Structures are given as structure tokens and as C-alpha cells.
């Protein structure tokens, strides 16, 4: 056991103890506690020692750490961002007056895209039109104060929709207010506004948040300065849709009398090279994002050793990984049905390609000093990182480049030919779409395409840091039960490799799925070479270390184990149901009552990608008639393609019978599949119950509000 000492000031000790001793000696209690035996002496000594410890706490020991608050500060604030961005008032109308703003740009964002668009738009309003714009997190202001915004100002709403047509977490206040002004018929006659919605048309409630907000504002008398528009991420068009909407907005501003200026590049962050790193820093320090914040929904990021991995596909050229991560002695906990957010790093090939294209390979180990130059800028890379660490761990260097970025890159082109090419693509949406549909254009590949021989030495590093998106986590449904495996998290990942139709027949490698494949040390089944990644090695495990955090989910089993379940999944959508069924089987084995379960599972073939088949067969044996499995195979021999939604139609009477008896229904997989299942179920309800469209919607909405119909879907 290690020894330790307290640095105590003797004079301070005396000044603290003397009053205590005088008080005790003058008190009648002192005579009472005089020891009459050895045992009494020990008791008296312990009493005095406890009193001494109580009185001196905070003075001589356990002193408050004056730097304690630093542990809770956002890293970007320590890097120079101003804390004054926090609103002094929650009344947005008052804030507009105090700051002499002409416009407020509200953002409601779940993944950060709407927030990024709002910050970009705010900067461009100022640099291009001289408009002072307040970029506002909706949660920083009382939504009721929007009604007080004067007519000389106007508001812009950038609103994302996710899940079952839900608003982002930070837009909850706006959502409640919108419902109230609709119910109470409140008037907002002075409000002038513009709106853009962010969503995915594969989802049933595509851009519902935008539609509800616009309908309520218009009904309340607000004036829409131009028709609301929708950005669609179904085909990855969000960036382009935002750019088109912004072009229309700038045309509106010109029509309102604002003069548009042509401005040269003005950095919002300063990026300077420091000294070469004396030694390689701990990779875990590099990996942690400055943008991730621990909240009630999200844990902190932890390095988790890979304890075991196995391949789930039995044939074909694809991989599907089952991976188990050890939580060890970390503070990380999870509950069955939660999500794990995996933080990947960029592959070696892309990091090296970008360094070479920028002409900075020799400076890859040099440290960077990064500081914000204005209040709206949030550094994406922690100051003190090496250039290589910034490109590997903090920036999305494998993502496609937007048309706006293509156009802006032209000013730094090393040759006249490169400048002409990028200018043409940046100004012509059709030309841009032709290029991106046939070629995977990352920043490095675009720079190489435009200038294959000359490096881009004139391209400011600040432009690269500002333009590239921050590296984001990818979420996977946890496929283990916290009841059975509380200190290990299992995840199920399909490794994605998509071929594009360019002359080189190149491949777009799924970043995180290939990162996980690399960490698993399993061989790739792909016909093409897969990327290589750097990993921190784990102790005693089979693979590397994966950086991850846990996100709470509402996709949970009912509290009562006797509640019947309808489970509908395709492919890796089965992941959370593996945990659900394992937990129910455990309870059944212990003699607890469990409800009837009907599982629909779809995949391509029973021979190649029927994941967890052996486990399901054992669960079937354990649960007996409590579990029924209905399969759908879309590429089984020469038979007609059958999808999981087709099986749901065939069994619709059974499903409705179970729902009417109080069952919970869960859908997990691609959004397009979930939308098909919803449609088929609504048709079955209308037919069986004789309901019209409105009655069917009320019936399904009622089940969803009561948590009896849940979906966990993606793209």
C-alpha cells in the first residue's frame, strides 16, 4: 500500500484546534466523556478524532480544487472559443435588439448538420450582404419570445426531422410552442420567416417537423418570404439541396435591396504549424472528439478492447461481423436496446493521399496550433494535435465534396487548367452530379483529378480544416443483453463496399464497417482490397481497441415479461432482437412467465446470410411454442423474391390478433422496409376493422404514443 502525507500548515492547525479544545474543556460534556476504562478511552479518542476530522475538513484536508470546473468545460472553449456565445437573455426578440441583429437563424439539429448549415449561413449573410445574423440554438431561447420578433427583423428556421417524424432534442421547446399556438389560435402577425427542412424521403414522416411548423406559423398569421424547401438525404443530396435553397435565399435578399459582394476567402480559424512532436502521442488522446459531449443520453467516449469477433456470413463476397467489446472497469454501462456509437479513424491510404496532394507529407508529425477567429467558429481539431492526427481522427476526409467547396477550391488551384475545371463543375449542378454519380470524389481525389502533377501548396490549411466535416460516430443497435452480459457489448455490423461506375471501377468503402473489420482481425471476403487502419492494440483481446460511447434508446422491452412481442427485422436489423430473445429465454429458463413471440426475419438466402441461425434454433428449443419464426429470403434459388413485408401481409391476421391482445410490435432495419411494413399493416387494419384512412392513422398513432409500436430504423 502506498503511503501519503498531507501538507499541513502548523499555525493553521493550531488556530483551528485551539478554539475546539477550549470549547470542549469548558463544556460539561467534557467531564462526562472522561474515560473510566481502556474501552472508554478508545471510544473517547475516536469521538475526538471524528470531531477533529469534521471541523478541519475543507480547511486542512479535502480542500476544494480551484480548477475543478475545468473538468466540465467544453474543450473548444479552452482552445479559445468565446464563452460569451451563451445568450444573456432567453428572449430572442430582446437579444436581436441588444445585439443589433437583422435576422435570427434558428437551428434544430440531431446530428449536427442543421447547426453547421446555420453557422455557414450566418457567416455568409455577414460577408456577402453585411447582414448581422444571430445564429441561435433553439434550446437557448424561450420559443414564446419568437412571437415578439418585430417586423423589421426576420427569422430563418433550419429544422431536421428524425425517427417517427420527431423534432431534434434541442427543438422540443419550439415543438411545444407550435402546438400551443395552434390550439390557442395565437397570432404572430409580425413574424417574417424562411424555412428549410432536413430529412430523408425513405422515412414515412419525411420532413414532418418542417411541415407542422410552417402550417402552424402560416395559420397564426406569419409571413413566409419564400416557399419552404426540403433537403433529402435519401440519395445524399442534403448538401446540394441546401446550396440550391441558399441560392434562392440570396436572390431574395438581392430583391429586398441588399447588395451582394464578391468576397475573397476569409478564415474563421487560425491554423499554424508548431514544432514536430517529440514522440508519438497516446492514440486515445488523438481519438476523442472535441464535439462529443457527455449528456443524459450519451456517455463519454471510452477505448474498448475487442474481446472476440466472428464472421456471420457462411458464403459470398460480403462480411458481417459479430464483435464483443469489453467494458472492463470503465464507468460505461448500457441497457438492452441501447445504441453504441463507434468513432472510426480514417484509413492510411486516404490520409497519405491528402498529405501528398497538399504537399505536406514531410510535416505530418508537426503539431498544429488552432484558434477560433470569431465567436461563430468551433474548432474541429484540438490544438496541439499533429497534422496526421487531425486528418486521421478528427476530419471526414473520406466524404464526398460539395459543389460549393468545388467552386471555392478553384481560387487556390495550382494551374489555370485546374481552376477552369473546378469553376465549371462548381457552377453547373448537372456537371457536378454527373461527376459525383460516377466517381467517388473525396477532397484528396478531387485535388488529384484537377491537378495530377502539381501539389496544392497554395491551399490554406485553415480552409481544409474549416471545409471538411468533423468526424462523426456511426451508430449500431447493441445485440447483447445487459441482463446476461452487463460488462460486454456485442454489435453486429455489415461491412459495406459499394462499386462505382468510373473507368477505374473504384469502390466506396464504408468507413466504420471496414474500421471494425480491421479491428476484428478477421479476413475480408471482398473481391477488392480493403483499407488499412491504425489501431491501439488491446491487452488480452483478439483484436484492437474500438473507441465508442453508448446512446440511450427508447427501443426497450416491456417491463412485464408476459407481454406478447411481434418482432420484424431484415438483415442486421435483427441485432436488438437477438438481445430481446436471449433475455426472454433466460427468464423462461428460470420459470418466469414470458409472452408469446412472433419473429419475422428477412435476408437474401438461407445458405449464406441467415445470421445467428444456430442461436435462433437453440432459442427455439428453449422457448418452445412461445417463439415462432417466419423467414423471408429475397434471393433463394429461382423462387420469387420474398421480402419480410410480404410475410407480414401473409400473417397480418395473427399480427393484428396479437396487437389487439396487448402485444408490443418492434420494427428494425432500413427505413424503406419499415415504411413498407407500416403501409401493409395499415391496409390490413383498414380491411379487417372497416376503417377509413383517418381512423387507421388515429389507431396506429395511438399504438405508437403508448409505446406499443416502435421502430429503430436507418437510411
- SS3 per residue for 440-502: CCCHHHHHHHHCCCCCCCCCCHHHHHHHCCECCCEEEEECCCCCCCCCEEEEEEECCEEECCC
> Is the separation of the CB atoms in 513 and 494 below 8 Å?
yes
What integer pLDDT is reported at residue 31 of this predicted model?
53
| Residues in the chain with pLDDT values less than 70 | 1-88, 277-288, 376, 501-505, 537-543, 639
222: how many CB neighbours lie within 10 A of its CB? 22
Euclidean distance between CA atoms 124 and 111, whole angstroms: 22
Q: Which residues are CB-contacts of 424 (< 8 A; sequence separation ≥ 6)?
A: 431
Q: For residue 622, how far is the Cα from the chain centroid?
A: 37
Task: Give the dihedral sign, CA 310/312/316/319.
Answer: negative
Cα of first residue to Cα of last residue in the chain, in angstroms, is 54
Q: Give the phi and the psi of residue 493 in degrees, each rounded to 5.
A: -130, 125
3-state SS of the chain: helix, strand, coil percent to 5? 40, 20, 40
Q: For residue 689, how far is the Cα from the chain centroid?
A: 40
What integer pLDDT is reported at residue 274 of this predicted model?
85
> Is the separation of the CB atoms in 346 and 390 below 8 Å?
no
Beta partners for 368?
A: 273
Euclidean distance between CA atoms 649 and 655, whole angstroms: 9
Euclidean distance between CA atoms 63 and 8, whole angstroms: 11
The chain-wide mean pLDDT, for the chain, equals 86
Euclidean distance between CA atoms 497 and 506, whole angstroms: 10
> Is the separation of the CB atoms in 286 and 535 below 8 Å?
no
For 127, the 3-state DSSP assignment is helix
Question: What are the CA-CA distances from residue 613 to residues 168, 549, 582, 637, 649 (Å)?
Answer: 37, 29, 13, 19, 23
> For residue 492, what is its C-alpha cell?
453486429
Q: Give the phi and the psi of residue 192 in degrees, each rounded to 5.
A: -110, 135
Q: Name the residue with cell 432500413.
A: 670
What integer pLDDT is reported at residue 308 of this predicted model?
95
Q: For residue 56, how far is the Cα from the chain centroid?
A: 46
What integer pLDDT is reported at residue 38 of this predicted model?
61
For 617, the 3-state DSSP assignment is helix
Beta partners for 133?
A: 103
For 27, the 3-state DSSP assignment is coil
Report the C-alpha dihedral over residues 176, 182, 183, 189, rounded to 10 degrees. 110
> Is the separation of the CB atoms in 662 and 563 below 8 Å?
yes
Q: Which residues are CB-contacts of 284 (< 8 A; sequence separation ≥ 6)?
A: 303, 536, 545, 547
Determine which helix (DSSP H) or strand (DSSP E) holds 712, and give its type and residue range.
strand 709-714
Euclidean distance between CA atoms 582 and 615, whole angstroms: 9
Beta partners for 709?
A: 665
> For residue 540, what is its C-alpha cell?
488480452
Beta partners for 320?
A: 494
> Is the separation of the CB atoms in 579 and 480 below 8 Å?
yes
Residue environment code for 466-496, b if the CB has 16+ CB neighbours within 10 A, otherwise e: bbbebbbbbbbbbbbbbeebeebbbbbbbbb
Q: Which residues are CB-contacts of 584 (< 8 A; sequence separation ≥ 6)?
A: 557, 561, 565, 594, 597, 623, 626
DSSP line for 547-565: EEEEE--S----SSTTS-E
Tens digits of residue pLDDT in 605-639: 998 999 999 999 999 999 999 999 999 999 887 76
Q: Find, among 405, 406, 127, 463, the residue nearest to 263 by Cα.
A: 127
Tens digits of residue pLDDT in 507-522: 889 999 999 999 999 9
DSSP line for 206-268: TTHHHHHHHHHHHHTT-EESS--EEEETTTT-HHHHHHHHHHHHHHHHHHTTPPP-------S
What integer pLDDT is reported at residue 514 of this predicted model?
96
Q: Which residues are CB-contacts of 87 (< 8 A; sequence separation ≥ 6)?
A: 95, 136, 140, 141
Q: Which residues are CB-contacts of 596 (< 8 A; sequence separation ≥ 6)?
A: 564, 565, 626, 628, 658, 663
For 77, the 3-state DSSP assignment is helix
Determine which helix (DSSP H) or strand (DSSP E) holds 130, and give its type and residue range.
none
Question: What are the CA-CA distances from residue 679 to residues 209, 322, 634 (Å)?
Answer: 21, 32, 19
> For residue 302, what is its C-alpha cell?
471510452
> Is the separation of the CB atoms in 440 and 400 below 8 Å?
yes
Strand 507-509 with 597-603, pairing? unpaired
Q: What angle do CA 220, 224, 229 make, to 5 degrees?
A: 120
> For residue 452, what is its C-alpha cell?
495530377
> For residue 134, what is its C-alpha cell?
444571430
Euclidean distance between CA atoms 34 and 374, whole angstroms: 69
Q: Delineate the domains of the chain, giving CATH numbers in brackets.
A: 10-56 (no CATH), 92-255 (3.40.50.360), 269-291+344-467 (1.20.990.10), 565-714 (3.40.50.80)
Amino acid at each position: 500500500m502506498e503511503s501519503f502525507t498531507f501538507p499541513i500548515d502548523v499555525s493553521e492547525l493550531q488556530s483551528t484546534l485551539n478554539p475546539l479544545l477550549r470549547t470542549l474543556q469548558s463544556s460539561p460534556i467534557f467531564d462526562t466523556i472522561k474515560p473510566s476504562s481502556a474501552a472508554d478511552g478508545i471510544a473517547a479518542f475516536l469521538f475526538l478524532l471524528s470531531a477533529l476530522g469534521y471541523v478541519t475538513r475543507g480547511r486542512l484536508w479535502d480542500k476544494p480544487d480551484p480548477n475543478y470546473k475545468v473538468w466540465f468545460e467544453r474543450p473548444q472553449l479552452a482552445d479559445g472559443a468565446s464563452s460569451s456565445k451563451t445568450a444573456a437573455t432567453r428572449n430572442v426578440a430582446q437579444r436581436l435588439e441588444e445585439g443589433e441583429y437583422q435576422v435570427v437563424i434558428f437551428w434544430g439539429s440531431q446530428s449536427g448538420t442543421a447547426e453547421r448549415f446555420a453557422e455557414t449561413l450566418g457567416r455568409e449573410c455577414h460577408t456577402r450582404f453585411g447582414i448581422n445574423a444571430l445564429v441561435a440554438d433553439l434550446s437557448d431561447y424561450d420559443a414564446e419570445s419568437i412571437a415578439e420578433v418585430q417586423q423589421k427583423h426576420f427569422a430563418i428556421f433550419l429544422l431536421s426531422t428524425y425517427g417517427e417524424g420527431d423534432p431534434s432534442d434541442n427543438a422540443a421547446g419550439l415543438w411545444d410552442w407550435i402546438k400551443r399556438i395552434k390550439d390557442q389560435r395565437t397570432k404572430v402577425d409580425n413574424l417574417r420567416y424562411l424555412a428549410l427542412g432536413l430529412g430523408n424521403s425513405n422515412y414515412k414522416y419525411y420532413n414532418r417537423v418542417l411541415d407542422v411548423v410552417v402550417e402552424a406559423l402560416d395559420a397564426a398569421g406569419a409571413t413566409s418570404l419564400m416557399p419552404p424547401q426540403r433537403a433529402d438525404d435519401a440519395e445524399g443530396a442534403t448538401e446540394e439541396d441546401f446550396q440550391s435553397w441558399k441560392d434562392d435565399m440570396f436572390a431574395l435578399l438581392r430583391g429586398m435591396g441588399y447588395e451582394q459582394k464578391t468576397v475573397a476567402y476569409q478564415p474563421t480559424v487560425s491554423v499554424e504549424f508548431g514544432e514536430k512532436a517529440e514522440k508519438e502521442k497516446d492514440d486515445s488522446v488523438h481519438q476523442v472528439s472535441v464535439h462529443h459531449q457527455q449528456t443524459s443520453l450519451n456517455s463519454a467516449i471510452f477505448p474498448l478492447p475487442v474481446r472476440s469477433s466472428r464472421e456471420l456470413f457462411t458464403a459470398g463476397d460480403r462480411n458481417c461481423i459479430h464483435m464483443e467489446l469489453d467494458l472492463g472497469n470503465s464507468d460505461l454501462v448500457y441497457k438492452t436496446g441501447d445504441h453504441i456509437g463507434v468513432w472510426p479513424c480514417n484509413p492510411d491510404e486516404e490520409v497519405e493521399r491528402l498529405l501528398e496532394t497538399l504537399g505536406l507529407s514531410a510535416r505530418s508529425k508537426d503539431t498544429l496550433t488552432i484558434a477560433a477567429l470569431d465567436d461563430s467558429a468551433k474548432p474541429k481539431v484540438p490544438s496541439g494535435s499533429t497534422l496526421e492526427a487531425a486528418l486521421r481522427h478528427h476530419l471526414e476526409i473520406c466524404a464526398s465534396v460539395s459543389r460549393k467547396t468545388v467552386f471555392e477550391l478553384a481560387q487556390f488551384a495550382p494551374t489555370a487548367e485546374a481552376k477552369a475545371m473546378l469553376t465549371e463543375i462548381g457552377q453547373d449542378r448537372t456537371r457536378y452530379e454527373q461527376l459525383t454519380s460516377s466517381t467517388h470524389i473525396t477532397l484528396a481525389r478531387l485535388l488529384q483529378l484537377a491537378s495530377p502533377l502539381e501539389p496544392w501548396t497554395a491551399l490554406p490549411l485553415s480552409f481544409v480544416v474549416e471545409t471538411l466535416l468533423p468526424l462523426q460516430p456511426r451508430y449500431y443497435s447493441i445485440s447483447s443483453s445487459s441482463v446476461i452480459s452487463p460488462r460486454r457489448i456485442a454489435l453486429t455490423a455489415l461491412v459495406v463496399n459499394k462499386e462505382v461506375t468510373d473507368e477505374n471501377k473504384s469502390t466506396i468503402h464504408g468507413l466504420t464497417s471496414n474500421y471494425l473489420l480491421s479491428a476484428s482481425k478477421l479476413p475480408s471476403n471482398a473481391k477488392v482490397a480493403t483499407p488499412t487502419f491504425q489501431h491501439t492494440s488491446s491487452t488480452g483481446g483478439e483484436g484492437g481497441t474500438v473507441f465508442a460511447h453508448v446512446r440511450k434508446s427508447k427501443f426497450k422491452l416491456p417491463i412485464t415479461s408476459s407481454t406478447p412481442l411481434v418482432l420484424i427485422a431484415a438483415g442486421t436489423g435483427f441485432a436488438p432482437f437477438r438481445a430481446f430473445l436471449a433475455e426472454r429465454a433466460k427468464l423462461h429458463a428460470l420459470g418466469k412467465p414470458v409472452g408469446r413471440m412472433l419473429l419475422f426475419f428477412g435476408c437474401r438466402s438461407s445458405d449464406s446470410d441467415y445470421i445467428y441461425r444456430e442461436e435462433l434454433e437453440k432459442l427455439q428449443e428453449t422457448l418452445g411454442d412461445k417463439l415462432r419464426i417466419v423467414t423471408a429470403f429475397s434471393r433463394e434459388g429461382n423462387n420469387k423474391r420474398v421480402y419480410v413485408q410480404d410475410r407480414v401481409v401473409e400473417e397480418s391476421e395473427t399480427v393484428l390478433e396479437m396487437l389487439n391482445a396487448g402485444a408490443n410490435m418492434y420494427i428494425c432495419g432500413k427505413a424503406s422496409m419499415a415504411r413498407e411494413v407500416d403501409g401493409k399493416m395499415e391496409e390490413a387494419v383498414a380491411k379487417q376493422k372497416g376503417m377509413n384512412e383517418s381512423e387507421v392513422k388515429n389507431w396506429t398513432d395511438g399504438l405508437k404514443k403508448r409505446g406499443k409500436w416502435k421502430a429503430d430504423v436507418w437510411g
